[in-house]
A and B are shown apart, each in its own frame.
Chain A
C-alpha cells in the first residue's frame, strides 16, 4: 500500500462549529484506485470530513494533500478534478435533466460537452426524458442523475455522500458495478453509507463516531479487529429465544437473519453462559461461528448510538 501513490493524504483535520468539535484530528490516506467506505451514525461527521477534503469547508486545523494539491491553499485545483455528490440533492430542480448536465460540463470546462452529455444520458437511460425538469424526477432517479452529474467531467477522485439513499436494489447493484469499474481504471472513491451490503463492497473502511475515527482497516480485517465471538441460535419459537437472550450479560449483538439469531460478544465465556438460557426451548440449538463484517458493524453501530448531540462518549 505504501508504494502506491496517495490520492488523499490528510492529517489532523479538525472542524469546529461554535464550541462543538465536529471532526477531531482526522487522518486519512487513500491510495489510487481504492474504494474507501465511511461509516458512522448520524451526525458523526462524515459529511463534514468529505467537505473538508474537497475544499468546501475550511478546516480549523490539520493539513495535507488531495490529488497532490494542498487542501488549504489549492482547493480550486482540487475541485476541478474531484466529483462530489452531495448528500442532499443539489442540482437545479427548475432546470431540465439535460440543462443540469450541460451546466456542469461547461463549468468544468470540458470539451465536446454535448457528446458527453448525450453519452451520460444514454448511460443513465434518460435520453428520452432529457427535457424533463430535474425536480419532477423520483427520489431514486434524482440520486442517479446527481451521480451522473458529478462524474461528467471524468474526475480522478469521487466523493460520494450516501449516494444510494433511496435507490432501488437493481440500480444499487449497477451503481456498485460502475464504481468497481472506475476503481479498476484508477479512480479513487470515498463513499459514505449506512448500508451493510455496501460497506462490504469497500476495500477499506473508516468507522467514525463523534468526529473521531474509531476503526480504519481493510474491510476483511474489521471482524478480527472488533474481536467478536458468536453463536448461531436456532429454535422453533425464535421470538421466545430472542426475549431470553436480550440484555443477557455478554450479549453485545443480537440480530435475526431469517430463521437464525446471531448472538455475538467479545467475551466468549460470558456469551456461552448467556446462550445457555435457550436450553429447554423446543428445537433449541446453538452453534459457534466466526462473526463477519455485518455483525461487526451492528456491534459498532449499537455501541455509539446517535451522535446528534455530539457531546462525545
Chain B
C-alpha cells in the first residue's frame, strides 16, 4: 500500500537537503540565466549593419532614392555599389558581404507600368541567426524606401499590392533556422541538462554516503522513494521555465502565439520525463561520477539529434530514429509549434503522446531497476 505520508517524508527530506546544498541550487537557477545571456550577447539575434553590396542594373530617380534610404537603414551597411554583372554574387560567395540587393533592369519603367518588378535580397544564410533579422526586415526596408515615391504614383497603383516584388534568397542554408527557434529550443536544453543531472545522483548519493542502508531498512516502497525524490525538482523546472519564458518575452521579444494551457501541459510532462530519466540513471550508476558521465551521454544526442542544432528533417534516418526516442525532440517541436505558430492542444498531441510513452517506459524501468536490497 502506497503511503502518502511516507512520500511526504522523503519529499520533505529532499527539500531540506536541496536547500542545504546551496551551491547546487544556485547553479540550477544560474544555468538558464547564463545560457540566455550567452545567447543574448554572443549571438545577437537582431544584428544590424550587415556588410551589403547593391547591384544597380537600372538608373533613375526611383533607384537613387531607394539607394538613399538603404544607406539610412540600420540593418545594412552598403560597402560596394556593384556595376558589373556577377560581381555581387562573387562578393557574397567570398564572404565579403552578407547581403546582396539587386535592382533589375528596367525597374523604373516596370514600376510605373504596374508590372511589379522584382528586387532581389540575397542573404548569406550560413549564419542564419545573423541574417534572419535583415531578411525579416527586407520588405519593410523596401517599403520605406519607396514610400515617398508611392505617394506620387497615379492613384490606380496605390494600395496593396505594392508595385514591386521582393524576392528573398537565403543562400547556403535554405532551411534557415532563426533566432526565434533558438530561444525556445534553449528551454528544452536547459531543462534536459539540469534536471537529468540533479536527479541522476538521487540514489547514487545515498549509495555513496551509505545512507541507503538505513533507508532500505525501513518499510518505504520503491515508488514512494521515486516520487518523493523527484517531485522537489519539479519546482526547479518550473522556475527555469519561468526564467526562459520571461527572457523570451522581454529580452528577445519572441511572441507567444499559442495556447498557454497546452504549453503548460507539455512543459510539465517534459519536466516529469527528464526527472524520470535522471532517476533511471541513478538506479544504474554506482558513483556520482558515473551518474555525471551518463548524463552527458544523454545530453549530447539531445543537443545534436533533437533538431536543436541541425534541422531534424535534414538528418539521416538513423539519426532521426535516435532523435525520436529523446524527450527533448518532441518538446522542441511542441514549444516551436505553440510559441511561434500558435498551436493548440490538438496540434501537439502527435508529440505529447510519444513524450508520455517515454515517461511511462522510464518510470517502469526505474522501478524495476530499484533494488530493495543491498545486493
* Chain A residues with a Cβ under 8 A of chain B: 51, 54-58, 75-77, 79-80, 82, 84, 86, 88-95, 99, 102-104, 106-109, 149-150
Contact = CB atoms under 8 A, between A and B. Distances in A.
B368 to A, nearest CB: 16
Contacts of A104: 214, 218
Interface string B19-40: 0110000000000000000000
Contact of A95 (B17, B215, B216, B218): B17
Nearest to A107: B218
A106 B213 contact: no
Across the A-B interface, the 8 shortest Cβ-Cβ residue pairs: A106-B9, A90-B214, A107-B218, A84-B217, A80-B219, A90-B213, A79-B219, A86-B213
Nearest to A84: B217
B374 A88 contact: no
A77 B221 CA distance: 12
6 contacts: A91-B211, A94-B20, A95-B16, A95-B17, A104-B218, A108-B218
B9 A107 contact: yes
Contact of B375 (A58, A77, A95): A58
Contacts of A109: 3, 5-6, 219
Contacts of B213: 56, 86, 88, 90
B209 interface: yes
A23 to B, nearest CB: 13
Interface of B: 3, 5-6, 8-10, 12-13, 16-17, 20-21, 209-221, 372-375
Contacts of B10: 107
A86 B5 contact: no
A92 B211 contact: yes
A57 B217 contact: no
A83 to B, nearest CB: 8
Contact of B219 (A57, A76, A88, A102): A76
Given A56-B373, A92-B211, A82 B17 contact: no
Nearest to A75: B372
A91 B214 contact: yes
Nearest to A82: B217
B217 A106 contact: no
Nearest to B218: A107
Given A56-B374, A84-B217, A94-B21, A89 B210 contact: yes
Contacts of A108: 218-219
Contacts of B217: 54, 56, 79, 82, 84, 86, 150
Given A95-B17, A106-B8, 9 more contacts: A57-B373, A79-B219, A90-B211, A90-B213, A92-B209, A99-B16, A102-B9, A106-B6, A149-B214
Contacts of A91: 211, 214
A86 B212 CA distance: 11
A109 B16 CA distance: 20
Nearest to A146: B214
A95 B3 CA distance: 22
Contact of B13 (A79, A95, A149): A95
B117 to A, nearest CB: 73
A267 B342 CA distance: 96
Contacts of B5: 106, 109
Given A51-B374, A56-B374, A107-B219, A92 B13 contact: yes
A163 B217 CA distance: 16
B78 to A, nearest CB: 63
Contacts of B12: 103, 106
Nearest to B217: A84
A58 B219 contact: no
A54 B21 CA distance: 32
Contacts of A90: 209-214
B19 to A, nearest CB: 10
| Residue of A76, A103, A107 most packed against chain B (CB within 10 A) | A107
Contacts of A86: 210, 213-214, 217
B219 A92 contact: no
A54 B217 CA distance: 7
A58 B212 CA distance: 16
Contact of B216 (A56, A89, A92): A56
A79 B374 contact: no
Contacts of B215: 107
Contacts of A103: 9, 12-13
B42 to A, nearest CB: 37
A133 B20 CA distance: 10
Contacts of B218: 79-80, 104, 107-108
A180 to B, nearest CB: 24
Nearest to B374: A56
Contacts of A93: 209
B3 A55 contact: no
Nearest to A95: B16
B124 to A, nearest CB: 54
Contacts of A99: 13, 16
A253 B213 CA distance: 38
A76 B212 CA distance: 15
A58 B373 contact: yes
A309 B67 CA distance: 89
A7 to B, nearest CB: 17
Contacts of A80: 218-219
| Residue of A57, A82, A90, A91 most packed against chain B (CB within 10 A) | A90
A56 B26 CA distance: 36
Contacts of B21: 94
A88 B221 CA distance: 23
Contacts of A75: 372-373
B372 to A, nearest CB: 7
Contacts of B372: 55, 75
